[in-house]
Chains A and B, each alone.
Chain A
C-alpha cells in the first residue's frame, strides 16, 4: 500500500468530516443491538452523493471495508463496525429533495428520519404508512436497507411496498438510479428490490423515491384487555376470519405492559395478562362499522373490557407508548435480548405458548409483544450480559424458538434483519442454496467484498479476488 487511506480521505474531505479520534470512534462502535461492540478505524460524515462515491472509490482502491450507518438503531448489528473498517455515516445527508403532490411521491436523502417523511406527507394530506417503533430516530436509508416494518404492516405492508426508486453508489464509486415515478415498470430486473433489505452489503443508497398515499379520513383505536393470552390470540384469528383487515393489531403481554406503563403512564391496566391495541382506518363509515365489529368479536372472545380512544390525541398516545416497548423493557433488566421470529398468523397462539414454555425451561424471564396482525413476534429476554451463564441460556432458548418458527413455516426475522446476530441461523432457515445465491449476488455487486462484509452471511470470495483485499487497510 503506497498511501494510507486515512491520509487520502483527510485530503479529500472537509476537516471535520473525517473522524479518527478515539472518543469519537467509541460513539460509532455500536448500534441498537445488545452486546456487540467494535471500534472502527475511522468514521466519515458524508454530505453528498459525490462524497459517498469518492469514499467508496478510495475504499475499493485500498480494499478497506466500509460499514454504512444511519442512526444506528438496527437490532441485528447491521451498522456495527468491523475491525479496521470505515464507518460511512449518513446523518448529515438529511434533506428532503422533492414532495410531488401530483404523482404522490417524496424524494429524500438517506439520512432523513422516518418521522420527517411522515410529517411532511401529513402536512399535505398524504400518508407514509411504514412506522417502525424507531420512527422518530431511524433513517429512511436504514429503513430501506432493513426493509423495516412497523405497526401498520398488516394492512399497509412494509417499507418495500413504498420504495419506487433508489439511487445507489456501488463499491467502485459508480452511481445509478433504479426505478421511477411510474406505478408500472418492467424494464429489466427489479434492481431496487435487490437493494431493499440488503443491509448495506450491496451498495450505499444515496437517494430514495417513496410512494405516498392519501391520508385515511378516519381512524379509531381500541384497547382490549384480557385475563388470558389465548383469548387475545383467538380474537385476532376471529377478526381476520371475519374478513376485517385493521391497520394495526398489536399485542402486549403482562411484562411488557408493566414496563411501558412505568415510563409512559398512559393508564394501561397492570392486572391483566394481555392487551390488544386495535386500529381501524379509512372511510369514516367503514371505520365506524369495523370498529364496532372488532369490539363485538373481542367481547365474544373473552375480553375483560374494551375501550375506545376518545380522540386522536389519546390514540396517538397509546401508539406512541406501544412504540416504547423495546427500550421500556430495559427498565427491568440490564440487558434486553429481543428476537423477531415471525410465523403465519394462524400459528401465533402456538408460537406464543412455545416462547413461554421455552423461557420456563431455561429459567428465563421473557416479555412478549408484537405485531399480531402479521404474525411478527418480539419475545424479549430480560437478562444481564455480565452473567455469561444466563446469556448462554438465552442463546439456547433463542435457538429453539427459531427452529420452531421455521418448523411452523415462519422465519427467523420479520423485520430486524440478519446482520451479525442471526447469521448462523440463516442457512437453517432458508437453505444452503439460497445462501449461496445471496453470496453470488453479493459478489456481482461488490467483488472485493468491501461493503459491510460478514453481515447476513460470510462472503465466499472467488480465489482471484483474495489478493485484492488486504485486511489491514
Chain B
C-alpha cells in the first residue's frame, strides 16, 4: 500500500516524438485511479513507466516516499494484470497463482496461505486443481487477478484487463474488481479506453489525449465540468452535442447564435463570459443529449432556448429514445422518454437545460470558466 506520485514525467521513444508530456499526478494510498483516453494517447506507456518496463525520459516517479526511476522493476513491489492473462497453460490454477511467489523464493507454507486466501477472495477455491483450458473467460480473468493478489504488492497496475471479455462479463467483472479493491485496500491504477468503464470504476479518472493529461478529477466532476471540448466529447454516451456559433450581446442580453437558432444565455454567466472575452467571439455550445428536452414543462421553463428541429433518425433504447435531429444546420442528439413517438422527418420542439450547458472557446477548445456559484451547482449534480 502506497501513494504513487508522478512529477513532470516525460516519455520519448525517439528524439522527436514525445509520447507522454509533463504528466503530473498524486495518487493517494488505497486510491483507485483510472487512466482513460483514446488508443495511442499514452496510457500504456505511462503505466509501463510506473512498472519500470519502460525508462522514464524525464521527471520523477515516487512510490511511497522512494524515488524509483532507477529501481529495477522487480524491486518496485508492484503487480500487473494485462489484457492477455498470461496464464501458464500447463499449470493448475493453484500452481499458476503460486508460481510468481515460487520464483521469489517464498516458503511453501507462505505460498499456500496466500494462494488459498486469494482464492477465497476471488471465489475460485473450487477451481484450484483445474488447468486454464478448463476455465471460462471470466474464471481465467479471476486467476490472473489472483496471481497479482498473492504478491501483496504496494500497487496494482491493470492495463485493459477486461477487453478480452464479452460485454456482459465485462460489466460483471467491473463490479468485481471494485469489490476486490474494497477488500484488499491497495492502490490501483487501471487503464482503459472505455469511458464507461472509467466512469463506473474510478475514484478519480485521468483523461488523456496525445500524451497530455486533459483533466484529472472524480467521475462526477469530469462529467459535469469537463475542462475542454475533448473531455466533454470523450466522456458520456451518446457524446455531448456541440453547436458552433457566436456569442453576441443585444439589448443587454447575451445570446448564443448559430445558423438558424438562437439561445439566450443565463444572466448568471454574463460575468465570466465577459471576463473571458467571449462576447462577439466564435464559440461552441455543448449540451449533453439528456439535457435536451421535449417535455412541455421544460419548454416553458427554458423558452429562450427553444429550437425547432426535424427528426432524422430515432434509436430505441428501451426506456428512452435517442432522437437524431437537425436544428438549423446543426445535428444533435436528444435523449427523450420512449413514450414519445416520432417518425423520421417529423418536426419537434426542443429546449436546452440552460443550467447544464457548456461553452467552449472555439480556438483553444477550453471551457469558459465556471463561477464559484456555478461550481457549487455543478458538483451537487449527478
Are the chains A and B members of one assembly?
no
